[in-house]
């Protein structure tokens, strides 16, 4: 360290001096011509006052700086003058040099390499071996700077990968996410993509095209398995009912549509909470990371449907306030929500206790409730009226209230 300060000013002499001391062999002439390139990039650092002398001498060994080039370099190392000479390095060297060189070079940094990521950067990245060397070296002499260096240093990779993909990404930025989605097994939302799946491969890079093709296949399979008919029905229903989902959903046969309404809901449920609720059921074991998010989204849609419908009921009744009763009415109006009947049944009892005139719209249902209160399972199933799934659901709800293992009986 002591030599550093002195070293910088009188570099040529000192460098040769050091060499002899540290590793005499490395300073031998034969090595110089080969490594002329490397020294150019790395030299600046060594001569910079910051760097500890020990690391300096180490690096010298394999990257022998020929005295002449070293002398040339020296001026650039001075922080002030560095920028101008920095550009002299040329496109190929410039970036690599910058990495090593940062203290002085920082100013000129973005111009050749980063901002103009297209040409300069890829060129610089091309020789990987050089960079690796530099990476290895950096820790040695850069303790103070390291944090900032990494900040600077990580971006290049982005740009680099980005360069390869820019052409594809500009076109396919959005579609990118979808193959993955489709691979999860159902109809992928393709509204942002070109209308037909067949057109994707053209625009996509091969890798992605393959993924998309696979995804499309999976999606088609899933669609056919999962009764696309009900799909369309449901979609049309939602299109009518919820104002937010205004755009019509075309058939799932083409795999193209499923316009996803811009959800009015910006707030997200806490996924941790959702996960906890899911796992409150002892039978539920591990839950994938994405699952609570999917459930949260479904829950959001569920809420949107429930809330908008109940708001409609409130409007019909000229009420500004959605009461529990209205919510109950909505829930009981649709078999889709029959698993909630157990909840609203209790609710209504509560409400009638409170003196709400809740029975008004629900006399018919009240009778039904009387039945169902006898045996929750059967009542729920009968109330569901809809096929298999509905009965199951109601039974689930019923059993859950009793704290029993809910699924086994149903199965």
Query: Any idea what the Cα angle at residue 72 is, between residues 68 and 78, rounded to 5°?
Result: 140
Distance CA 147, CA 102 (A): 12
The reply on whether position 339 binds another protein by CB under 8 A is yes
Structure tokens at 226: 């999962």
8-state DSSP, 51:
S
Q: Binding to another protein by residue 148, rule CB under 8 A?
A: yes
Stretch touching another protein by CB under 8 A, among 55-63, 130-138, 296-304, 367-375: 296-304
- Distance (Å) of CA 173 to CA 33, 192, 198: 47, 10, 17
As a whole number of angstroms, the distance between CA 344 and CA 373 comes to 12
Mapped onto helix, strand or coil, the DSSP state of residue 303 is helix
Tokens of 126: 């091309």
Q: Which stretch binds another protein (CB under 8 A): 13-21, 59-67, 145-153, 193-201?
A: 145-153
Q: Which stretch binds another protein (CB under 8 A): 59-67, 194-202, 289-297, 361-369?
A: 289-297
DSSP state of 30: T
Among 36, 165, 203, 293, binds another protein (CB under 8 A): 293
Name which position in 40, 340, 362, 365 contacts another protein (CB under 8 A). 340
State yes or no: residue 46 binds another protein (CB under 8 A).
Answer: no
List the one residue out of 76, 66, 79, 2 whose CA is nearest residue 35: 66
Q: Cα–Cα distance between 312 and 306 in angstroms, integer?
A: 10
Closer by beta carbon to another protein, 37 or else 149: 149
20 Cβ contact partners less than 8 Å away, ≥ 6 residues apart? 27
**Contacts to another protein from residues 223-282, by CB under 8 A:** 226, 230-231, 234-235, 237-238, 243-244, 258, 260-261, 263-267, 269-270, 273-274, 276-281
Does 321 engage in binding with another protein (CB under 8 A)? yes
Cβ-based nearer residue to another protein, 26 or 255: 255
Closest CA to 114 of 133, 132, 130, 99: 99
- Residue 306 interacts with another protein (CB under 8 A): yes or no: yes
Near another protein by CB under 8 A: residue from 253, 308, 333, 352: 308
How many of the chain's residues bind another protein (CB under 8 A)? 128
- Interface of this chain with another protein, residues 12 to 31, rule: CB under 8 A: none
Instruction: Give me 264's structure tokens.
Output: 């009015």
Least spacing, CB of residue 393 vs another protein, in Å = 6
Q: Is residue 311 near another protein by the rule CB under 8 A?
A: yes
Q: CB of 19 within 8 A of CB of 26?
A: yes
The stretch among 13-21, 33-41, 369-377, 403-411 that binds another protein (CB under 8 A) is 403-411
State yes or no: residue 97 binds another protein (CB under 8 A): no
Nearer Cβ to another protein (117/130): 117
- Exactly one of 115, 119, 316, 373 binds another protein (CB under 8 A); that residue is 115
The residue among 212, 222, 147, 139 whose CA lies nearest residue 178 is: 212
Q: According to the binding rule CB under 8 A, does residue 303 interact with another protein?
A: yes
Q: Is 34 helix (H, G, I), strand (E, B) or coil?
A: helix
Q: Give, as ranges, the residues between 370 and 399 that touch another protein (CB under 8 A).
A: 386, 389-390, 393, 396-397
3 state DSSP class of 48: coil
Choice from 75, 90, 139, 177 touching another protein (CB under 8 A): 177
DSSP state of 249: P
Q: Which of 139, 141, 157, 127 is nearest to 38 (CA)?
A: 127
Q: Is 336 exposed, middle or buried (0-12, 13-18, 19+ CB in 10 A)?
A: middle
Please state the closest distance from residue 380 (CB atom) to another protein, in A.
Answer: 12
**Which one, 19 or 337, has the nearer CB to another protein?**
337
47 closest CA partner among 11, 83, 85: 11
- Identified binder of another protein from the candidate list 23, 92, 127, 189, rule CB under 8 A: 189
Alpha helices (H) in 173-262, listed in sequence order: 178-183, 200-203, 206-225, 228-241
- Pick between residue 129 and residue 154 the one whose CB is nearest to another protein: 154
Q: Is residue 285 involved in binding another protein (CB under 8 A)?
A: yes
Q: Which of 324, 333, 361, 378 binds another protein (CB under 8 A)?
A: 324
């Amino acid at each position: 360290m002591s030599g550093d300060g002195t070293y910088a000013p009188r570099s040529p002499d000192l460098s040769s001096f050091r060499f002899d001391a540290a590793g005499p062999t490395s300073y031998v002439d034969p090595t110089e011509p080969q490594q002329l390139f490397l020294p150019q990039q790395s030299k600046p650092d060594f001569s910079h006052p910051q760097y500890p002398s020990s690391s300096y001498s180490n690096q010298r060994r394999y990257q022998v700086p020929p005295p002449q080039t070293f002398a040339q370099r020296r001026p650039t190392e001075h922080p002030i003058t560095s920028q101008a000479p920095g550009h002299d390095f040329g496109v190929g060297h410039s970036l690599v040099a910058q990495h090593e060189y940062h203290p002085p070079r920082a100013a000129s940094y973005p111009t050749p390499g980063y901002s103009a990521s297209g040409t300069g950067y890829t060129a610089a990245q091309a020789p990987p071996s050089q960079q690796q060397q530099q990476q290895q070296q950096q820790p040695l002499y850069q303790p103070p700077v390291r944090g900032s260096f990494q900040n600077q240093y990580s971006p290049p990779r982005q740009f680099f990968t980005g360069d390869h993909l820019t052409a594809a990404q500009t076109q396919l930025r959005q579609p990118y996410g979808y193959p993955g989605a489709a691979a999860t097994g159902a109809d992928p939302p393709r509204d942002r993509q070109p209308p037909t799946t067949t057109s994707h491969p053209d625009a996509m890079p091969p890798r992605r095209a393959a993924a998309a093709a696979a995804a499309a296949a999976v999606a088609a399979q899933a669609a056919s398995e999962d009764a696309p008919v009900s799909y369309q029905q449901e979609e049309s229903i939602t299109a009518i009912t919820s104002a937010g989902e205004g755009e019509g959903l075309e058939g799932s046969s083409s795999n193209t549509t499923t316009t996803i309404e811009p959800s009015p809901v910006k707030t997200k449920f806490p996924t941790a909470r959702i996960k906890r609720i899911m796992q409150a059921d002892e039978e539920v074991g591990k839950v994938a990371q994405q699952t609570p998010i999917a459930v949260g989204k479904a829950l959001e849609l569920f809420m949107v449907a429930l809330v908008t419908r109940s708001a409609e009921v409130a409007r019909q009744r000229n009420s500004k306030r959605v009461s529990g009763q209205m919510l109950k009415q909505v829930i009981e109006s649709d078999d889709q929500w029959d698993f909630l009947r157990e909840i609203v049944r209790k609710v209504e009892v509560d409400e009638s206790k409170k003196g709400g005139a809740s029975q008004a719209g629900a006399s018919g249902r009240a009778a039904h409730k009387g039945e169902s209160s006898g045996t929750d399972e059967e009542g729920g199933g009968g109330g569901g009226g809809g096929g298999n799934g509905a009965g199951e659901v109601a039974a689930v709800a019923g059993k859950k209230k009793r704290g029993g293992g809910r699924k086994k009986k149903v199965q």
